[in-house]
Structure 1
Amino acid sequence: AIIKDRSYHLIIENVPISFDPDSKATIAEIEVKGGLQMNSISKIRYIKPVARRSPTQRSAHVALTLNSKTATNQIIRFGLSIEGKKVYGRKLLTEPTRCLKCHTFNRGHIAMDCPKDNDTCGTCGAEHHTTTCKVDDPAFYHCINCKEDGHGSWSRECPVFIGKWNAQKARNDEARCR
């Protein structure tokens, strides 16, 4: 059996796009300037692919994986300097799992294992794939989870999503402490 080191995940928002996450020298510089132990950053990547940036975009979010709880807390409390800009980290918490076939949270499965025969639209709630939905007026959106109109099943404002999110955060020790 192999014991894997513990990883801590942060999101760093509004990092200048001039930052190169593949440069070991740049990462070492961030660790030194941030007062972090060397090699405490084990992985760093842009969340959105570079090809999907807008032409006028000047900053982007990065996902940061660290191998030290001390370094993680230090970044949350004091921030980092990346490409001359002071940025702060926040914990990257996983969201409740939603099946992308039936769009429910409460069945504990993903699309590959969905027991439903047909797709359910996450936008309007009808029986078709979400990508083929023609509904573009939010008044006609219908949420499969809370059974209410006005938002889709993917909405972060859905009361069912909020309840699942809060329950998941309450179970997760990392969500409660810094």
Structure 2
Amino acid sequence: RRKDGQRYAHAIFSMDTRDDANELLTGRVIVQGRILKARKNHPDPKRCAKCNTFGHIAEQCKSENDVCARCAGRHRTATCQATEQQFFCANCKKAGHGAASRECPEFQRKLKERAKWDPEHAYRLFVTRNPSTW
């Protein structure tokens, strides 16, 4: 869905082989006459939809209460009345953004942590037998 004022959109392509994916990553993608750059999709760290902390999903959550992803209040995110100016992060405990923000320092820390144990993360291309992918 497109929102008023939206300038960017994302698309995820799933390829059958690593070689096909690398061809897409090294070539040009043209959509509606615009040349776009493709990049590997690295999965985000797990974030619970109930308590909004990292490391588990709602099904495994041990929290007794819901924690709002927008204001960190004890209610479901879907019922939150907070404005953007009232956003407060349940993870880094700072105002100005919600728990789903990609700019959150805690989210950025978790991304770096995840990259350390994912050997594929260090490479721009998917590693194949072709030495140019190493």
1:50-129 correspondence to structure 2 within 5 Å = 52-53=1-2, 61-81=10-30, 85-105=34-54, 108-129=55-76
Tell me the distance in 2 between the aligned counterparts of 1:137 and 1:83. 33
* Counterpart position of 1:40: none
Alignment identity in percent?
Answer: 36
Aligned 8 A contact 1:75 1:88 in 2: no
TM-score (norm 1): 0.60
Tell me the distance in 1 between the aligned counterparts of 2:18 and 2:33. 24
CA RMSD of superposed structures (Å): 2.5
Q: Which runs of 5+ in 1 are unaligned?
A: 1-51
1 or 2, which has the higher strand percentage?
1
Larger Rg: 1
What is the CA-CA distance between 1:54 and the residue it aligns to? 6.1
User: Is 1:142–2:91 an aligned residue pair?
Assistant: no
TM-score (norm 2): 0.77
Q: Which runs of 5+ in 2 are unaligned?
A: 126-134
Instruction: Say which SS state the counterpart of residue 78 (structure 2) adopts.
Output: helix
Aligned length: 123
What is the CA-CA distance between 1:86 and the residue it aligns to? 3.6
Q: Deviations over 1:14-48 (max 9, x none)?
A: xxxxxxxxxxxxxxxxxxxxxxxxxxxxxxxxxxx
* Counterpart position of 2:122: 176
Instruction: Say which SS state the counterpart of residue 108 (structure 2) adopts.
Output: helix
